[in-house]
Amino acid sequence: MIYLDNAATTKLDTECLQAMLPYFQENYGNPGGLYSLGAKSKKAIQTARRQIAQALDCEMDEIYFTSGGTESDNWAIRMGALASQEKGKHLITSAMEHHGALHCFRELEKQGFRVTYLQPDEEGILSAKKVQEAIRPDTVLISIMYANNEIGTIQPIEEIGRLAKEKGILFHTDAVQAFGHLPISAKREAFDFLSASAHKFYGPKGIGFLYIRKSIAIPNLLLGGNQESGHRPGTENVPAIVGMGVAARVSMEKMEERGQKESLLRDYLIQQMENNIPGCTLTGARTNRLPNHASFVIPGIEGESLLVMLDMKGICASSGSACTVGSKEPSHVLMAINRTPEEAKGSLRLTLSYEITEDEIRETVLIIAQIVGQLRKMSGYK
Ligand code: PLP
């Protein structure tokens, strides 16, 4: 098998698995328990919190564990907006956010908020200037993703953060695709909230975190017990939290080495695709993109047929976001960067891990070229 869908999810690192295992059967105590079995779990949670705080260059008490990216986005955006509505009801986001964020804005519109959905340029970049122009006296929250899941483009988060801070506007960034892959610092960058999800950086699924800057108070998404200082109640998923802590530490230690290898192979993959598949074009920015991310549109094919045929050859790939599979609508991200619905039909996303080899990439491109040839022949595309 050649796995090229690491933006959808990654394989758990063996070191994470080893660290998690004792917390299923040996150290299974509830962290709230007043006995040593509970204390072991509580200590493991604090270790993970420290590992994540170090990775994000922030304080430990600014990290709140959640069930993943979707929950973190919901908490920051919905509760951030509600907390500020006395000051104003205008919100700014981009038209290419993940649905975990976008659907929160649609919901807030129903509750009387007004939302500006900014269009990025054709590479998917949203300039700070464009954000600045959209700011109004009643703007209370801006949410712009760190890097896009479908086209890999990285946004100027530091600049946008500075702008939001100057104007006293809350700023959230969905860093689900970026955290663990790019160096991010809460001290250097002025975001107030940041969402991340462990399964995108070789940790377990169903666990993530929301960074909340210490000076910011927002209402809780859930109500219940005292876990996470009462802000995110519910018995902690201890093995998953432990796994995410280790995944964060390993990602930081190996970021440079992994990133260098991945970006070289990403560029090789892009070049091979462009050279071997007539008409194939890159979507998103060429250099300002995630190190492991390549995405294309290929005219004359249906992305879904290509994926099925790739699967029969043992290759896992995607045509966009894992969350929109089965949707008949063209990708909102490709629409936002001015691609046509026709182009969007032939989209292909290939996302690498640090384990991928040059031989696997060469083999993948050869197979894609063969399948594209067959599909084009069947559809009569010239
Ligand atoms: N945000 C982005 C940019 C994503 O890519 C994803 C998942 O693909 C999410 C949010 C949702 O994360 P999760 O699956 O952990 O809820």
Decide: 69 in ligand 1 pocket, CB within 6 A: yes
Residue 198 Cα: closest atom of ligand 1: 15
**DSSP label at residue 135:** -
- Angle, alpha carbons 17-23-24 (nearest 5°): 90
- Angle, alpha carbons 342-348-350 (nearest 5°): 165
Report residue 119 CA to chain centroid gap. 19
Ligand 1 center to residue 310 CA distance, Å? 24
Residue 325: the pLDDT is 52
Residue 364: the pLDDT is 98
Which of 70, 72, 289 for a ligand 1 pocket mutation test, highest count of atoms within 8 Å of Cβ? Answer: 70
365 touches 2 (CB < 8 A): no
How many helices and strands (H and E) does the chain possess? 13, 12
Task: Tell me the one-letter amino acid at 179.
Answer: F
Q: Pick the catalytic residue from 16, 280, 316, 323.
A: 323
Which of 176, 184, 207 for a ligand 1 pocket mutation test, highest count of atoms within 8 Å of Cβ? Answer: 176
Residue 321 Cα: closest atom of ligand 1: 8
Question: Which tens digit of pLDDT belongs to each residue from 350-368?
Answer: 999 999 999 999 999 999 9
| Tokens read off for 382 | 């010239």
User: What's the sign of the alpha-carbon dihedral 326, 337, 144, 53?
Assistant: positive
> pTM of this prediction?
0.97
Distances from the Cα of 115 to the Cα of 103, 209, 210, 309, angstroms: 12, 25, 22, 41
At residue 340, the 3 state secondary structure works out as: coil
At residue 275, the 3 state secondary structure works out as: helix
d(CA 188, CA 158): 8
Ligand 1 center to residue 67 CA distance, Å? 11
- Angle, alpha carbons 258-51-235 (nearest 5°): 120
Ligand 1 center to residue 71 CA distance, Å? 9
Which of 102, 197, 201, 205 for a ligand 1 pocket mutation test, highest count of atoms within 8 Å of Cβ? Answer: 197
Query: Phi and psi at residue 154, in whole multiples of 5°?
Result: -100, 135
Residue 205 Cα: closest atom of ligand 1: 15
Ligand 1 center to residue 6 CA distance, Å? 12
Question: Which tens digit of pLDDT belongs to each residue from 19-40?
Answer: 999 999 999 999 999 999 999 9
Residue owning the nearest CA to atom 8 of ligand 1 = 8
Decide: 70 in ligand 1 pocket, CB within 6 A: yes
d(CA 251, CA 260): 13
Residue 329: the pLDDT is 84
Ligand 1 center to residue 61 CA distance, Å? 23
d(CA 85, CA 108): 11
Residue 36: the pLDDT is 97
| Tokens read off for 246 | 């280790």
Delineate the domains of the chain, giving CATH numbers in brackets: 2-8+255-379 (3.90.1150.10), 14-250 (3.40.640.10)
Question: Which tens digit of pLDDT belongs to each residue from 127-139?
Answer: 999 999 999 999 9
Residue 321: the pLDDT is 56
Looking up tokens 């509830």, which residue turns up? 30
Ligand 1 center to residue 23 CA distance, Å? 26
Decide: 174 in ligand 1 pocket, CB within 6 A: yes
Residue 199 Cα: closest atom of ligand 1: 15
117 touches 153 (CB < 8 A): no
Strand partners, 139: 90
Residue 206 Cα: closest atom of ligand 1: 15
Decide: 208 in ligand 1 pocket, CB within 6 A: yes
Distances from the Cα of 74 to the Cα of 7, 66, 219, 241, angstroms: 20, 11, 12, 20
Sequence-separated (6 or more) residues with CB below 8 Å from residue 350: 4, 269, 294, 295, 296, 317, 364
Residue owning the nearest CA to atom 14 of ligand 1 = 69
Decide: 177 in ligand 1 pocket, CB within 6 A: yes
Q: Which residues of the chain have pLDDT under 50?
A: 323
Instruction: Compute how many other C-beta atoms are within 10 angstroms of the C-beta atom of residue 373.
Output: 14
Helix axes 303-312, 358-379, angle to 10 degrees: 130
Decide: 320 in ligand 1 pocket, CB within 6 A: no
Q: Active-site residue 323, yes or no?
A: yes
Strand partners, 333: none
Ligand 1 center to residue 97 CA distance, Å? 10
Distances from the Cα of 173 to the Cα of 126, 191, 238, 254, angstroms: 13, 7, 26, 23
Sequence-separated (6 or more) residues with CB below 8 Å from residue 75: 66, 193, 210, 218, 220, 221, 232
Residue 254: the pLDDT is 98
